[in-house]
Amino acid sequence: MAADLHFHSIYSDGNNTPAELIEMAISKGIDTVALSDHDTVEGVAEMIEIGNEKGVEVIPAIEFSTYQGEVEMHILGYYIDYRSKTFLSKIHSLFRERIARSRKMVKKLNDIGININYQDVVKTAGDKYVGRPHIARAMISAGYINNIEEAFTEDYIGNRGKAYVSKDNLSPLEAIELIHKAGGIAVLAHPYLINDGAPFDKNGIINLANQGLEGIEVFHSKQSQEISEYYLKIARELDLLVTGGSDFHGNGSVGLQLGDVLLDDQYVAQLKDFYNRKYGTPSGK
Ligand code: AMP
Ligand code: ZN
Ligand code: FE
Ligand code: FE
């Protein structure tokens, strides 16, 4: 048995429901999962409920997009209290910012002759979470581009794109603190894939560890075995937790399935032990 601790649902930019994701986990023989949607815990309660029914342990989680200047890094929070009022109110304000920002990007696209409207964008998004992948899907539906990648260019909504609008940014430290206040464990997601920045090296990780980071995602679908070994060594040297997952997004993940990256039981056990020692309570269920 093993775990997949990183994937997305319809509540952010994946396109599978919690029920479908649990079925996928079962069909792969996985007994522990974490739904780690971008900036939202909207799907977590449903995931836990279905997991309980079907005998799959669900660790509550989130994946925050954070920024240090132009450099975007993702911070995973595990075992967060997904019902905490202060935590929810902070992420709701992040949602509101996302909506306003997406409307601005649609307006900018309109100005350069891409005639999509915000309603087309939210059609493929959840109630609250909306981001560039949804805008890209609306552009595909309207026939302006053929695939999601084409939207993420300088012509459209790539980070230096004509119609790009930046987010009001959460810093890594703010995300780490939010996760800790919600009783969770903060882990750097896919350290090799940092948007607009170089892959993290030991110094980058030390810097985050000094800000309270407790683990790194060593195993990830876009990190080769060699890269995983590199980060495993750093995790050992710095005494950081080791996590891993597929980062499955549904149809958006061509050739990838949930469970294609598995985290060994020993690391899951270390994560749980760490959690129990730090917070002294059973998991955030
Ligand atoms: P946003 O948070 O709205 O700025 O959108 C960022 C999300 O878009 C990321 O979390 C990825 O899921 C997705 N994304 C970023 N770059 C690309 C790309 N080149 N191709 C496809 N999807 C991307
Ligand atoms: Zn995503
Ligand atoms: Fe990510
Ligand atoms: Fe992800």
The pLDDT of residue 285: 45
Ligand 1 mean position to 102 CA, how many Å? 13
Model pLDDT for residues 77-104, shown as the tens digit of each residue? 999 999 999 999 999 988 888 899 999 9
Residue to mutate, 73, 104, 152, 167, ligand 1, most ligand atoms under 8 Å from C-beta: 152
Distance CA 44, CA 227 (A): 30
Predicted TM-score (pTM) of the model is: 0.85
Minimum mean pLDDT range among 62-71, 101-110, 124-133, 147-156: 124-133
CA distance 259 to 87: 29
Q: Identify which ligand lies nearest to the alpha carbon of 166.
A: 1
pLDDT (tens digit, 9 = 90+) per residue, 184-214? 999 999 999 998 899 999 999 999 999 999 9
Q: From ligand 2's centre to the CA of 143, what distance in Å? A: 22
Q: Is the dihedral of CA 262, 34, 255, 149 positive or negative?
A: negative
What does the alpha-carbon distance between residue 201 and residue 48 come to, in Å, rounded to a whole number? Answer: 35
Instruction: Give the whole-angstrom CA distance, residue 44 versus residue 34.
Output: 9
